[in-house]
């Protein structure tokens, strides 16, 4: 596989850093209301587009849907009690999903169901994040306030938005999206051959060998401890294979394009 040496466009990659959110019971109830409002607005947009048939007037676009949302918020108290930012971002996400569908890169957006893919996005003036201590950070959520999350790593300084999600197990996460700085290329027009493997992450035609970082010592120790059988009980299969599974995931990540093993924006080293 040969690739021309060139820089990666700034907007071609978005780095997402996800953290475990730790809301209080009252905050969790408010977050669920935001999820319900975002799901309701999204499903209304899906219904409007599914109603369209050849010969009928085209479905409303994002601007018209925002005007309809304003009218709906004025009429319904329960919808007005929610955040307009969250609801408008649900419409914007749907508009982007439709653009991706017409471009042929994604499937048509479908209905959202309760407890499946719950979440909403926060952008603009409502987006705020701050560091409280070495392991604790806080994210601002409209109508909720500051919600704590586990600061497992630094929040990207370039982040301008965040998405809050809830998985099927009831765990909350917050993800910050940022566009990293582009990696400049020499501009010589030289072609470099890349061979991706397992033992060696990438071998270049110039003779250089690239190896992705493996597990840290603390991670290896934690995986060995989780895979060790308990005293007086047989270790379940998923614990016995925890280390091997995590190692395979790491190796697969080495070969995946666009991962951080080859820099913040480029899938392979550039010469």
The 10s digit of each residue's pLDDT in 174-224 is 999 888 777 777 777 788 888 988 888 889 888 889 888 788 888 888 888
CB-based contact 174:164 (threshold 8 Å):
yes
Element (H, E) at 3: strand 2-4
* pLDDT value of residue 12: 53
Mean pLDDT of 232-258: 59
Q: What predicted TM-score, i.e. pTM, was given to this entire model?
A: 0.64
The 10s digit of each residue's pLDDT in 16-48 is 889 999 999 999 999 999 999 999 999 999 999
Report how far apart, in Å, the C-alpha atoms of 208 and of each of 158, 195, 201, 205, 230 are. 32, 11, 11, 7, 44
The 10s digit of each residue's pLDDT in 53-68 is 777 778 888 899 999 9
| Dist CA 39 CA 68 (whole Å) | 16
In the three-class reduction of DSSP (H, G, I as helix; E, B as strand; rest coil), residue 192 is classed as strand
Compute the radius of gyration of the chain from its Cα atoms. Answer: 23
């Amino acid at each position: 596989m040969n690739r021309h040496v060139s820089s990666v466009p700034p907007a071609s990659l978005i780095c997402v850093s996800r953290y475990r959110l730790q809301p209080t019971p009252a905050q969790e109830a408010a977050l669920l209301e935001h999820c319900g409002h975002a799901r309701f607005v999204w499903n209304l947009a899906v219904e409007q587009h599914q109603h369209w048939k050849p010969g009928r007037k085209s479905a409303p676009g994002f601007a018209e849907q925002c005007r309809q949302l304003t009218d709906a918020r004025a009429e319904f108290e329960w919808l007005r009690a929610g955040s307009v930012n969250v609801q408008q971002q649900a419409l914007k996400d749907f508009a982007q999903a439709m653009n991706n569908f017409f471009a042929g890169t994604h499937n048509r957006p479908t209905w959202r169901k309760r407890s499946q893919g719950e979440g909403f996005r926060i952008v603009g003036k409502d987006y705020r994040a701050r560091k409280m201590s070495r392991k604790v950070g806080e994210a601002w959520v409209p109508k909720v306030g500051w919600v704590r999350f586990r600061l497992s790593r630094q929040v990207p300084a370039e982040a301008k938005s965040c998405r809050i999600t809830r998985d099927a197990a009831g765990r909350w996460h917050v993800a910050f999206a940022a566009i990293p700085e582009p990696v400049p290329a020499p501009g010589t027009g030289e072609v470099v051959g890349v061979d991706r493997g397992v033992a060696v992450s990438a071998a270049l035609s110039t003779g250089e060998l690239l190896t992705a970082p493996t597990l840290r010592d603390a991670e290896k120790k934690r995986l060995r401890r989780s895979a060790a059988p308990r005293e007086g009980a047989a270790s379940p299969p998923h614990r016995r294979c925890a280390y091997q599974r995590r190692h395979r995931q790491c190796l697969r990540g080495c070969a995946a394009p666009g991962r951080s093993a080859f820099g913040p924006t480029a899938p392979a080293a550039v010469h």
